């Protein structure tokens, strides 16, 4: 086959290949891949549609397109993913930021506002590439931001993102709240833990095949880490402080029940734009129960 001659014709060719591979947004992804291969943004691609493409550019975009057609996530191919107002670096070592997690960020921003505390201390557990904590710190530069992850590679990614965005976050390696000193207290604790059941067929589809299993799946039908965080976070919250959790669409009731049993108050669940229960928040009562 003759090599496509211009940016426009190459774009068409890419779109057809992606469409044939069953990609949902072939036009958008074709532009993103061509933009990455040529170093041009969408406006430039449109303005320069008739420009000739070099053999090197054509080869580069062909390689990217092949990876995408083989199912590799766009976020891994581009090495970046937009989340909130940020453009985050991502790697196969961490969970790819997802739009539904912006719901948790929205709720956390509202909770922080209502605290009316100077420089509240906010902790994100299992931060991955820093998704939640960097969004919060960008929104509220006055918070003291902390985050942990069990994975060293994930922390490196979070560190790189924090440095690139010029946001200060205290990071440390640890399994949920385990590495914390018993006296460490926070106004807000956020967490998007792994919550998919290990036998859920979704794990064998789409982007999930390429993400760390440890960031996706948890024992006890996906509830093990949620329960662990619920049970241990209370001791590290200030009275009146809030815990915000992301969970599976069918886990809202189990999460609410566990929070109640652990002694939290003000428990409420927020639905995502797909109308699924997705984020539950709860507060530590000002006076612990009897």
Among 98, 140, 144, 185, binds ligand GLN (CB under 6 A): 98
Helices and strands, counts by H and E, the chain? 11, 9
DSSP string, 30-50: HHHHHHHHHT--HHHHHHTTT
- Which pairing describes strands 80-83 and 86-89: parallel, antiparallel, or unpaired? antiparallel
Among 216, 226, 233, 255, binds ligand GLN (CB under 6 A): 216
Q: How far is the CB of 29 from ligand GLN (least distance, A)?
A: 18
Binding residues for ligand GLN restricted to 230-249, rule: CB under 6 A: 246
Both tokens assigned to 169? 């976050």
Please give the span between the terminal C-alpha atoms of the chain, in angstroms, as a whole number.
Answer: 77
Q: How far is the CB of 99 from ligand GLN (least distance, A)?
A: 10
Number of residues near ligand GLN (by CB under 6 A):
10
Please, which residue, 158 or 208, has the CB nearer to ligand GLN?
Answer: 208
Both tokens assigned to 58? 């054509």
Please, which residue, 120 or 193, has the CB nearer to ligand GLN?
Answer: 193
- Alpha carbons 179 and 158: distance in angstroms, whole number: 18
Q: How far is the CB of 217 from ligand GLN (least distance, A)?
A: 7
Q: How far is the CB of 264 from ligand GLN (least distance, A)?
A: 20
Give the distance from CA 196 to its chain's centroid. Answer: 15
Helix, strand or coil for residue 193?
A: coil
Helix, strand or coil for residue 71?
A: coil
Verify binding: residue 105, ligand GLN, rule CB under 6 A. no
Binding residues for ligand GLN restricted to 166-195, rule: CB under 6 A: 192, 194-195
Q: What's 91's DSSP letter?
A: -
Please, which residue, 202 or 265, has the CB nearer to ligand GLN?
Answer: 202
Among 93, 177, 196, 226, binds ligand GLN (CB under 6 A): 196
Residues that bind ligand GLN (CB under 6 A): 95, 98, 100, 192, 194-196, 208, 216, 246
């Amino acid at each position: 086959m003759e090599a496509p001659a211009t940016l426009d014709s190459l774009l068409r060719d890419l779109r057809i290949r992606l469409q044939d591979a069953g990609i949902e947004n072939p036009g958008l992804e074709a532009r993103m891949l061509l933009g990455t291969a040529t170093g041009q943004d969408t406006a430039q691609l449109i303005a320069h549609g008739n420009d000739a493409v070099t053999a090197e550019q054509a080869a580069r975009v062909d390689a990217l397109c092949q990876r995408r057609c083989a199912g590799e996530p766009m976020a891994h191919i581009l090495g970046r993913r937009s989340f909130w107002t940020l453009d985050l670096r991502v790697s196969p070592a961490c969970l790819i930021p997802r739009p539904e997690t912006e719901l948790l960020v929205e709720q956390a921003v509202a909770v922080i506002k209502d605290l009316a505390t100077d420089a509240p201390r906010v902790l994100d557990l299992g931060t991955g590439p820093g998704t939640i904590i960097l969004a919060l710190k960008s929104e509220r530069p006055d918070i003291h931001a902390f985050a942990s992850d069990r994975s060293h590679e994930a922390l490196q990614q979070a560190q790189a993102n924090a440095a690139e965005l010029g946001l200060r976050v205290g990071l440390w390696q640890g399994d949920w709240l385990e590495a914390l000193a018993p006296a460490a207290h926070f106004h807000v604790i956020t967490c998007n833990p792994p919550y998919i059941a290990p036998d859920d067929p979704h794990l064998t589809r789409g982007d999930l095949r390429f993400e760390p299993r440890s960031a996706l799946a948890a024992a006890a039908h996906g509830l093990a880490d949620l329960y662990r965080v619920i049970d241990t976070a209370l001791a590290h919250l200030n009275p009146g402080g809030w815990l915000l959790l992301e969970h599976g669409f069918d886990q809202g009731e189990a999460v609410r029940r566990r929070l109640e049993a652990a002694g939290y108050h003000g428990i409420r669940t927020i639905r995502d734009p797909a109308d699924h229960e997705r984020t539950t928040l709860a507060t530590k009562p000002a006076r612990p129960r009897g």
